Structure formats: structure tokens, C-alpha cells
Structure 1
């Protein structure tokens, strides 16, 4: 009879399929930087990375989720369940959870990959069966309770799953780590979703309330056709849209947009703006240098910009670009930098920078 579960220690992190080597390289380098031994395990296009370490609690503490770039979600591993009996997948989970205390929420998930999406139905139906069973046994609070860690059951096949947990405040709050956003019918382009997601993922709720205020002044570099400008106007900001190309006509009707037909890499404002956003297609180091100039010269207080990455060694290029930006931006004591590959990103990462 097979062992129903095997305790495991380390991290389980979700990512965009195809970027597993980049997340694995990031986790390995960051773990080495905080002197926690471990090693990554993954396969390309799986949509997740396992990072094995004998000290999972220490590792999850030393690698805060907000500092990870290629991870959509960060979980601490509890157990691996193999050869699950489709007639009784719950008993092994009970056995694995014995002595681990109570959890405040249950998420039953699957990889965001072509193969993983076929497990969506199983995850949904199993979650509906497992949730009341866990509550009856005392493993799960009667109502969602953020005071306790979340429990994640992560199916990689119908007979193979991982148990893991996440801490509220040190993980993504959405299933699979993906905020559910929809394209608005009046948005000039789908790129609007990238900026909407960036505000949700890279800013805290308190920061959004304080830094996305009506009447603020912003610039959108490389604005055409106006997706990011549209998002800013929905925050009732006044926007200088900088691009030689045309904007969606409806943006002019808002009375909030000043279209400057100039090169976004050369244009500069007359004074300090509250926001600068940029989604131009250019070499990441060139973008990083220009964005650093904006902060060094005091042209903006907050910025969100994208860095387009090469096909190979993307973690290394990310480090180089972010280090270059930090080095040239100045204001080191007051400059906040956060970066993440968002769900709506492709071969790029999105960076938020702010001078407190």
C-alpha cells in the first residue's frame, strides 16, 4: 500500500508558463543571498517551481513575496501526495494536516498551463467536498479568517497534489495568484489591463488611496493608442499623453488629456508630476536609464514602467536593469522599487517606483 503523503519542506511558487527557469534562477540566487540552503525543481511550461529546502519557515520569512519578480504566488510546502485514490483523496489530506493547526481559508488550485487547466473542474468540485470536511474535523475555520494561514491544495494531476500554506500579507490574495480583470468595452487597447493590474499588485491598498487621487498630474510616455492614458483618466487625473501616433478620439473628449506629438524618450515636463507611466518597446537597460533620469531630475514622484526582456537569461537581465535604475535614480534613502511579471505581461516585467 503506498504511503498516503510525504512531508516536504521549501517553497511552491506559481509563474507564467515558460518562465520556470527564470523563477528558479531567482529563487536560487535569493536563497543563497540570505544563506538558506536549497535547490529548485521544475519543468518548462509547468507553470510552477518547487524550491526544496530543509528550512521552509526560514526560507519563506527571508524571501518576502513583495520582493519576488517572477512569482505570481508564494507558498510554503507542507506535503506531497502521490498515487491518490480518486475514490478517497480526502483521507490522505487529513493525515498530512494532523498536528498542523487550523487554517483560515481553503484554495484548491492547479497550474495555469495548458495541461493544468484541464484540472479546473476537479479543483472546483473537490474544493466543494473538502471544505466542509475540513471544517468538521477542525482543520479549517467555520468562516474565512485572515488570522490563520490559508491552506492550498495544488493538483498537478488527478492523482498527484501538493499541500501548502500562505500567509495573508505575504502572498497574492487571488486564486492562482491572478487578479480577475476584464477588458472594458471603451478601453483603447488590451494594454489597459496591464496598468490596472499593476495598481492592484504593486501598490498596497493604502498606497492606492493616497497616490491615485483625482486632479493629480501624470504623463504617459509612448501613449498611443491610449490604453494607459485611459486608465489614468478613469482615476480623474490630468494626463500628458506623449506619442507621435494617434490616440483614441474619445480620450480627447474627457477634457483631461493633452496630446503631445513628441518622442517619449526625449520629452520632459515643465515641473514635477505625480505620475509617469511608460510602456515603450525598447531595450530594458535603455528604458531603465531614462526612467532613472525622471527620478534623478525630480520630474515625477511615482512611476510604473515596463522592461521588455530578451528570450534568454531573463532573470540576469532583470537584475542588471533594476540595479542600473536604482544606481542612476538617486534618492536611495527614499526610493521604493517593486517589480513583478504580471499576468497580463508577456516577455516583460512591470516596475513600480516611488519617492516617499
Structure 2
């Protein structure tokens, strides 16, 4: 078996080409080269490295947080084709050559067919974990604390077996935070902003960066999905949109409705946070966000870039380069992070703040 010769890269179904282009670029930055295999709407990409062991180089050296279209990754070897009568025994032999791990995750593609494997994955994962503990392969020892064993299941007999660094991979199974839609929110888009906070802001920093009683502007707010999240954080919000806002939000006493063009609005004073989910050309939104930071209108911005049907990866890179160039030219220290969230569709979500 070739050891750690490939990466399994999970992504949103339909964005396999974007994930492939991204990992090809990022792997090359750390001197790793290979080729991608993918099928549209499978929800994952295989990146096979030219040299054995190079998959571990990528997951160790590339910052997972910098990846946009990749939800989760696993450094693994060849596909394991198992006998249904002895899956645990066969995998146990394979795992003899693996390092000790602190935990075991069993994942599957985020597709209709993949979700049908959910029950199998949970039961199989539980049985395998017991077997691994008996063999000393699951351990809380210091040497094992940053290594997670990850199985990517294609069927009851086809499984990729690999590892990922706990501190350099998604913190949720399949890279999907389990969020519950709040019934009081006026639209399901509310979950985009909540998920963005989980990806971009450490839980210990929420009170600092999404301050209770703080100020925010929601550009393109109607009917108020993102405004609801801000109000739920006890923030005072200026909701900018020519369309109508949700009545309950307006009755909260925390929202001012500015019936203006989101791209022309200027706040009276600096706010803690600007958010924007306007349907507009992504390059225009990228320029708007950098303007808000450079002009001192806000301390931090979270915004969506709506992607075109074609050249989505290239468009995303172009927008991020525009922001980076403008911030660098202004001589300011900043942090820019981007992710295609589980609750996003034809878009990516960005976080931009001054340091």
C-alpha cells in the first residue's frame, strides 16, 4: 500500500473543480505536486501526490484555515476494499502501521447517497474505536493529542483510511457545524452569519469582536436574517435596505431601518461590525468592504461574495487580491479569511478586520 500518498478533500457538491484548483495551488506552495480526480456533485476530490508521504506534508504545512472550498481533509493511502464479514479485522491490520491517535472520526460525502451511510458510519465507528482502544491505537498520551484518525466511507466496503492534525483541520465532523434554525428568525440566511462566526471568531473572542451592546450595520438587511443574529447578541443595528424589515425585529427597539442603497450608505460613527449579504457583483462587494475598513466606518466586516457560474475560483482569488492590495497599499495590518460555508450556496463568506 502507498502510505499517505493522497488527500481526500471534502467540499460542497458542485464545487469539486474549485476545491481541486485550490489544493493544487496550495500544495505547490509547499513543494508538493500531484493530480486531482473528481466527479461533479460527488462532494469530494482526490489529490494524488507524486511522492509517498507528501499528503502529510500538505496537512502539516498548509494552514487549513486558509482553504476556501475545502471543508475537511484527510491524508491517506489507497482505497481499502473490505470484506463485509471482517471489516474490523482487515482495518485493524492496516492500522498497525499508523501512529497513535487521540480520536476517531468516520465521515461520508455530503450527498444524498452519502447521508444514507450515516447510520453505518456511526455504528462502524463505535465498533472500530473499541477495537483500537484494546490495541492501544486510541490514546490520550501526549504523543497522540494532535492526531485524529479519519475514515472516509464511500460504501459499506470501500473506505479511505487516513489521519489529520486536530489543530489543522475542521473542528466539526465533515467540516459542518451543527446549527439549529431559530424559529424567530425571518429567513434561513440567518445561519450563514452564525456559521461565519464559528469559523472566523474563536469562542473566547466573541464578547470582544461581537460585543454585547455593541453597534453594527447590516447592508442589504431585509427581511432581517442577519440582523436577527446581531439583535440576538444584544447589538444595536442599523439595517440598510429599501425593502421591508421583519416587524418583530423592528419592535425590539434595537434596530433602525435606513431605507437607502447599501452601496451608498455611510454611518454617522464607527461601528463594531458591518455585515453584508447583498446580491451584487463580487468585485464591487470586495471594494465596498475594504472601503469600510480603510475609511474607519467599522472595525470588522463579514460579507458574502456572490460567485458567477463560471471561473468561480478565479473570481474569488481576484476579489481577495483586490482587498489585499488595497490594505497593503494603505499600510495597515489586517486579517482576511474566506470560507464557503455549509449554509452558503453560489457564494463564499469573508471576514476582514484590522489588527
* Higher mean displacement: 284-293 or 324-333: 324-333
- Give the superposition deviation at 1:270: 1.6
Note if contact 1:42-1:50 (Cα within 8 Å) is conserved in structure 2. yes
Classify 1:165/1:209 alpha carbon distance in 2 versus 1 (closer, same or farther; 3 Å): farther
Note if contact 1:104-1:141 (Cα within 8 Å) is conserved in structure 2. yes
* Higher mean displacement: 223-232 or 98-107: 98-107
* Higher mean displacement: 266-275 or 323-332: 323-332
Q: Deviations over 1:104-128 (max 9, x none)?
A: 1111111111221221121111112
Matching residue of 1:258: 256
Note if contact 1:135-1:142 (Cα within 8 Å) is conserved in structure 2. no
Matches within 5 A, 1:62-73: 62-73=61-72
- The separation in 2 between residues aligned to 1:137 and 1:6, in whole angstroms, is 23
Q: Any stretches of 5+ residues in structure 2 without a counterpart?
A: none
Three-state SS of the structure 1 residue aligned to 2:166 is coil
Matches within 5 A, 1:331-342: 331=330, 333-342=332-341
Q: Deviations over 1:307-345 (max 9, x none)?
A: 000112211110001111222245554110000000000
- Give the superposition deviation at 1:144: 12
- Which of 6, 17, 20 lines up with 1:21 in the alignment? 17
- Give the superposition deviation at 1:35: 2.6
Note if contact 1:108-1:123 (Cα within 8 Å) is conserved in structure 2. yes
Q: Does 1:347 align with 2:343?
A: no
* Higher mean displacement: 202-211 or 287-296: 202-211
- Which of 284, 289, 294 lines up with 1:296 in the alignment? 294
Note if contact 2:4-2:56 (Cα within 8 Å) is conserved in structure 1. no
Note if contact 1:105-1:145 (Cα within 8 Å) is conserved in structure 2. no
Matching residue of 2:285: 287
Note if contact 1:217-1:275 (Cα within 8 Å) is conserved in structure 2. yes
- The separation in 2 between residues aligned to 1:144 and 1:310, in whole angstroms, is 46
- Which of 39, 43, 48 lines up with 2:39 in the alignment? 43
TM-score normalised by L of structure 1: 0.94
- The separation in 2 between residues aligned to 1:265 and 1:143, in whole angstroms, is 54
Classify 1:35/1:332 alpha carbon distance in 2 versus 1 (closer, same or farther; 3 Å): farther
- The separation in 2 between residues aligned to 1:329 and 1:271, in whole angstroms, is 21
* Alignment root-mean-square deviation, CA: 1.8
Matching residue of 2:81: 83
- Give the superposition deviation at 1:146: 7.7
Classify 1:340/1:146 alpha carbon distance in 2 versus 1 (closer, same or farther; 3 Å): farther
Q: Does 1:185 align with 2:178?
A: no
Q: Any stretches of 5+ residues in structure 1 without a counterpart?
A: none
Q: Deviations over 1:227-262 (max 9, x none)?
A: 101100111111100011111111122211111110
- Give the superposition deviation at 1:161: 0.6
Note if contact 1:251-1:257 (Cα within 8 Å) is conserved in structure 2. yes
Matching residue of 1:159: 157
- The separation in 2 between residues aligned to 1:245 and 1:172, in whole angstroms, is 37
- Give the superposition deviation at 1:222: 0.3
Classify 1:82/1:231 alpha carbon distance in 2 versus 1 (closer, same or farther; 3 Å): same
Three-state SS of the structure 2 residue aligned to 1:23 is helix
- The separation in 1 between residues aligned to 2:260 and 2:22, in whole angstroms, is 37
Matching residue of 2:192: 194
- Give the superposition deviation at 1:285: 0.6
- The separation in 1 between residues aligned to 2:140 and 2:282, in whole angstroms, is 48
Note if contact 2:60-2:165 (Cα within 8 Å) is conserved in structure 1. no
Note if contact 1:221-1:277 (Cα within 8 Å) is conserved in structure 2. yes
* Higher mean displacement: 333-342 or 344-353: 333-342
- The separation in 2 between residues aligned to 1:108 and 1:332, in whole angstroms, is 45
- Which of 129, 132, 135 lines up with 1:131 in the alignment? 129
Q: Does 1:321 align with 2:319?
A: yes
Matching residue of 2:207: 209
Count how many residue pairs are aligned between Structure 1 and Structure 2.
Answer: 351
Matching residue of 1:269: 267
